[in-house]
Amino acid sequence: METADRSFGFSDEGIERIVLDSRQDSTNGLFVPIIGEKSDGHDYIEMAIRNGARAVLSSRDCGSLAAAYPAVRFYPVEDTRRALQEIGLMERRRFPGTVIGVTGSVGKTTTRSMIAAALSAERRVFQTAGNANSQVGVPVTLFQMRRSEAELAVIELGMSEPGEMTRIARIACVDIAVITNIGTAHIENLKTQENILREKLHILDGMRDGGLLLLNAEDPLLSGVTRETLSRFGIAEGKEIRICRYRPEKEEAARPKLLVRGYHMQQNAAAALRIASELGVSEAAARQALARFGGLQGRGEIFTTKGGVTIIDDAYNASPASMRAGLSVLSELRGERKIAVLADMLELGEREESYHRELGKLISELHIDVLFLYGRLAALIGESVQQYGDTAGHKPAISYFTDLTELRNTVCSVAHTGDVLLFKGSNSMRLSDIVSELRKERE
């Protein structure tokens, strides 16, 4: 049987899943203890075994555990994270289908899901579960992918620090790479947008010769990418890479009909249609599939409560670009009042305050009625709205919050039939907790 790394000789015989959390059902699973900043998964190996783990990777001496659990296979490795990545590469090499990799600063999860939806109209498709797009998430995804019996796979690749994309791209070895945009997410670690562009382009590492790179033609940085750019960055050297671009149809009537709203969703759909065409799925079938796509929880899904309040659930994360897109969707929907519930955007580096202040002018122009601002940085949005509102002649009613419970109680008491509420902020600000309460009242 093929092994991932001769130094530890892993065999996936009898292994049905990879488990990173010892609390989960580990039946017939491989438990991989990850050493993190606050905890060491090695401390929970025995818990994983009790939950059904059949094999364990370990960079610690597990002699006593091996004696206590003779039916469990223990693989001694120098680095469990690296060993997991080797296993992911082994599984990728065994997958016979085409792999599409999606990355970008904003919208990669929704774009990945829309591509999968379009392709599923006529083909068997596997896609990343949730947002398992990291150095540990991608190998787990590849393990699941190989067992899916799919013809095509759409996987998500994320990064937050220099070098990370290279590590996961060399495991994923995508056949087609899609980059949605180059924004400011993780700019705190990468310093400049050009550095982010360079890092995202490393999705080509591991790609076969003759692979396709599909870029958003409307992104200022991606629109200028050429083979010379790749050469300057030292990417895909010695390979022939096709570079293509996508954009929504110029005529609005020619664009696919979507349940999700916003021009950014049309950009995502354009990527999906281009990939579908590239892989032989009929345009009519792909458009019909996209017309049924209702969005993802926390990423632009729209629902209505029993009390007649429309919720735009965009609470999973936030960046300046996605914040602008969410506010634009709020302005487009019909409602008695437009209420924006906004929280801090994090990991924006030295310009974090100016990024928040820049939203003030847009909010004033969109004529939003009520603004609930949660957090120190979000309060700067309100200051900016006050400034620009004097010029624009429109100021929403603004309330500031530093306590999530107080914000939740206020939102639930103020919203009434016919109102439209947008929830948008970085994930750690926990606006999703409030949306979950409102979701209980969904029709």
One domain for residues 134 and 70: no
Residue 130 confidence class, pLDDT cut points 50, 70, 90: confident
Largest pairwise CA distance in the chain: 76
CATH number, domain containing residue 132: 3.40.1190.10
Query: Residue 7 above 80 pLDDT?
Result: no
One domain for residues 109 and 75: no
- Per-residue DSSP letter, 86: H
What confidence score (pLDDT) does residue 117 get?
98
One domain for residues 146 and 268: yes
**What are residue 397's DSSP bridge partners?**
370
Residue 310 amino acid letter:
T
What confidence score (pLDDT) does residue 1 get?
32
Angle value at C-alpha 272, between 267 and 276, nearest 5 degrees? 150
d(CA 171, CA 108) in angstroms, rounded, equals: 19
What confidence score (pLDDT) does residue 132 get?
86
Cα–Cα distance list, 63 to 47, 49, 54, 75, 436 (Å): 16, 15, 16, 11, 45
What confidence score (pLDDT) does residue 276 get?
98
One domain for residues 48 and 139: no
Residue 390 confidence class, pLDDT cut points 50, 70, 90: low
**For 266-322, what is each residue's pLDDT tens digit?**
999 999 999 999 999 999 999 999 999 998 888 999 999 998 999 999 999 999 999
Query: Residue 161 above 90 pLDDT?
Result: no
pLDDT greater at residue 357 or residue 130: 357
pLDDT greater at residue 357 or residue 391: 357
Query: Residue 133 above 70 pLDDT?
Result: yes
d(CA 354, CA 419) in angstroms, rounded, equals: 30
One domain for residues 323 and 379: yes
Give me the number of domains the chain comprises: 3
CATH number, domain containing residue 47: 3.40.1390.10
Which whole number is the average pLDDT over 4-28? 86
Q: Which H or E run includes 67? A: helix 63-68
**What are residue 156's DSSP bridge partners?**
102
Q: Which of 291, 326, 352 is the last residue of a domain?
A: 291
Residue 28 confidence class, pLDDT cut points 50, 70, 90: very high
What confidence score (pLDDT) does residue 5 get?
47
Residue 38: how many other CB atoms lie within 10 Å: 4
Q: Which of 31, 52, 79 is the last residue of a domain?
A: 79
Residue 189 confidence class, pLDDT cut points 50, 70, 90: confident
Residue 181 confidence class, pLDDT cut points 50, 70, 90: very high
Query: Residue 101 above 60 pLDDT?
Result: yes
What confidence score (pLDDT) does residue 311 get?
96
pLDDT greater at residue 11 or residue 178: 178
What confidence score (pLDDT) does residue 428 get?
94
- At 260 the three-state DSSP class reads coil
Domain span at residue 310 reads 301-439
| Both structure tokens of 105 | 């600063």
Query: Residue 229 above 70 pLDDT?
Result: yes
Which whole number is the average pLDDT over 48-71? 95
If you count DSSP H runs as helices and E runs as strands, how many of each does the chain have, helices first?
Answer: 17, 16
One domain for residues 133 and 28: no
User: Looking at the domain assignment, is residue 86 inside a domain?
Assistant: no
Q: Hey, which bits of 195-350 come out as E strands?
A: 212-216, 242-246, 301-304, 310-314, 338-343
Q: Hey, which of 9-13, 159-163, 182-186, 314-318 has the most confident mean pLDDT?
A: 314-318
| Both structure tokens of 10 | 């892993």
End-to-end CA distance of the chain: 52
Cα–Cα distance list, 275 to 153, 164, 246, 278 (Å): 12, 25, 10, 5
d(CA 192, CA 174) in angstroms, rounded, equals: 26
One domain for residues 259 and 206: yes
What confidence score (pLDDT) does residue 191 get?
79
Place of tokens 């797009």: 133
| Both structure tokens of 342 | 């906004």
d(CA 304, CA 419) in angstroms, rounded, equals: 10
Query: Residue 12 above 90 pLDDT?
Result: no
Q: Is the dihedral of CA 4, 35, 53, 43 positive or negative?
A: positive
Angle between helices 164-172 and 137-146 (to 10 degrees): 10
**For 243-273, what is each residue's pLDDT tens digit?**
999 999 999 999 999 999 999 999 999 999 9
One domain for residues 270 and 308: no
User: Looking at the domain assignment, is residue 263 inside a domain?
Assistant: yes
Residues 6+ apart with CB under 8 A from 405: none
d(CA 168, CA 133) in angstroms, rounded, equals: 9
Find how far residue 358's CA is from the centre of its chain.
24
DSSP string, 166-217: HHHHHHH--SEEEE----STTHHHH-SHHHHHHHHHGGGTTPPTT-EEEEET
What confidence score (pLDDT) does residue 238 get?
87
User: Looking at the domain assignment, is residue 54 inside a domain?
Assistant: yes
* % of the chain exceeding 70 in pLDDT: 96
CATH number, domain containing residue 328: 3.90.190.20
Query: Residue 360 above 80 pLDDT?
Result: yes
Query: Residue 337 above 90 pLDDT?
Result: yes
User: Looking at the domain assignment, is residue 388 inside a domain?
Assistant: yes
